[in-house]
Amino acid sequence: MFKKLTILFCLVLSFFLGSFAQQQDRIRVTLLTCSPGQEVYSLYGHTAIRLQVPKDSVDEVFNYGVFDMSKPNFVWHFVLGQTDYMVQPIPWEYFIIDYDKRGSSITEQELNLTQGEASRLLSNLIENCRPENREYRYSFLYGNCTTKVRDMVEEVIMGRIQYPNALPHETAREILHHYTVHHPWAQEGNDLLLGSEMDTIMSERAAMFIPENLMQAFDGAFIRDGKGDMRPLVKSKAVILEAKPQVVEKEFPLSPIQTILVFAALCLLIMLLEIWTKRLFWLWDVVILLLQGTAGTLLAFMFFFSKHPAVDSNWQIWILNPVFFIGIPLVIKAAIRHKQTLWYAFYFVVLALFLLFSPWIPQVFAKITVPLALCLLTRPISYMFCHRKKRHGRK
């Protein structure tokens, strides 16, 4: 009896030791989704891929969101949309410490890959990390740290991934608004720079450029192999780092709406003073045209030269463009010589046409755009009243 129990114990022990050895040899692949932070670059969250090989004491996070600001002309290339990001392996303990300091949570989804698929993924990631392969041309909507991870997983699957129809059908602008709701100036900046391309409904696949959307898509996805058999893409899911309370710091004392209201009050006050005194404050026109032309130069540069997506479909260039610099010498010359100028008539027509057609322009404007056009319209109106009173005064 004792001999039989000894044999049984040895068999059970050998089974568990064999299973443990297999576990040690096994490559574990997980998708990491980090919740949004408070810095501008972290407002939308982050995605990375973690690979663990216990046998070799490997626990690395492959991060496609790394960039080198020390590269020559980095800011210039970023504005042009020619920024190269890179993939970099980071030890897990450093990665989790970094996000713990930021106060972000980390959700981990273990992917249900075969060992062959996991091995190919590890091999591809190592190949991607070579100096000659590690860089890729970054595109916020179409080729970022999240879409690169998705593409790497899809590349090694034996079969194809079927994603659920689970994501809300929203435009890219609506998706971004979810993440900038507590950062009004970041949202306003996005809406000023990004054009009508942002206002078409995104496909399920395109919407995966946001980390939390990719996590949700992976949750309900299945892998269909060549035989038609299906298995869930995600084996398990857990929050491995809890979020900490984060202080939302104000980007500016006033919100965009409050700022435009102050500007509107100033424009109306100056217009009333001009009408009352029958005198045009032409220096105010110079300041406005200088600011308008400067903002317009940025929009026009992005419109014509930048490779960033959606900046070349921006209808707000109608009222913010470098053409308004032309008005500065015309206004100054007319004021010095006490002559009239056709500039204000041109200015009125441009602004009035924009306001007239704005309801039919297929773009969601920044919150300040239409109010700004109305504020600017006070300048030609004030000019018209002042010169009409002067003509009547002469008579």
pLDDT band at 252 (very low <50, low <70, confident <90, very high): confident
The pLDDT tens digits for 39-93 are 887 899 999 999 999 988 899 999 999 988 777 777 777 778 888 899 999 999 9
Residue 67 sits at the vertex; the CA angle it makes with 37 and 58, to the nearest 5 degrees, is 80
Report the range of poorest mean pLDDT among 72-81, 106-115, 138-147, 169-178: 72-81
CATH topology (fold) of 26-167+204-241: endopeptidase fold (from Nostoc punctiforme) (3.90.1720)
- Residue 392 pLDDT more than 60? no
- Residue 6 pLDDT more than 80? no
> According to the model, what pLDDT value does residue 71 have?
78
Let me know: does 380 contact 344? Beta carbons within 8 Å.
yes
% of the chain beyond a pLDDT of 90: 75
User: Which residues, in sequence order, are bridge partners of residue 173?
Assistant: none
* Buried-state track 351-383, b at ≥16 Cβ within 10 A, e below 16: beebeeebeeeebbbbbbbbbbbebbbbbbebb
CA atoms within 13 A on the CB side of 143: 15
**Domain positions in the chain:** 26-167+204-241, 256-394
If we measure between CA atoms, which residue out of 270, 389, 285 comes closest to residue 335?
Answer: 285
Let me know: does 199 contact 158? Beta carbons within 8 Å.
no
Please tell me which residue, 80 or 11, carries the higher pLDDT value: 80
Q: How far is CA 228 from CA 218, 223, 225, in A?
A: 19, 9, 5
Rounded-to-integer distance, Cα 309 and Cα 363, Å: 15
> According to the model, what pLDDT value does residue 394 have?
52
> According to the model, what pLDDT value does residue 368 have?
96
pTM of the model as a whole: 0.87
> According to the model, what pLDDT value does residue 391 have?
55
Rounded-to-integer distance, Cα 362 and Cα 19, Å: 61
Report the range of poorest mean pLDDT among 78-82, 128-132, 359-363: 78-82
CA atoms within 13 A on the CB side of 288: 23
